[in-house]
Amino acid sequence: MTQYATNQYKMTQVNTADQGKLILMMYDGAIRFVEIAKTKLTENDVAGKGIYISKAEAVISELMASLNMESGGEVALSLEKLYVFMNKQLRIANVNKDTKPLDVVLNILNELKEAWVKIFEGKNG
* pLDDT tens track for 31-88: 999 999 999 999 999 999 999 999 999 999 999 999 999 999 999 999 999 999 999 9
Distance in angstroms (rounded) separating the CA atoms of residues 72 and 68: 5
Phi-psi region of 2 (alpha: psi -120 to 50; beta: other; left: phi over 0): beta
Residue from 62, 56, 67, 66 nearest 28 by CA: 56
DSSP single-letter state for residue 42: H
CATH number for the domain harbouring residue 69: 1.20.120.340
89 in any annotated domain: yes
Number of structural domains (the chain) is: 1
Residue 46 structural domain: 18-124
* pLDDT tens track for 24-47: 999 999 999 999 999 999 999 999
Specify whether the CB–CB gap between 56 and 105 falls below 8 A: yes
8 in any annotated domain: no
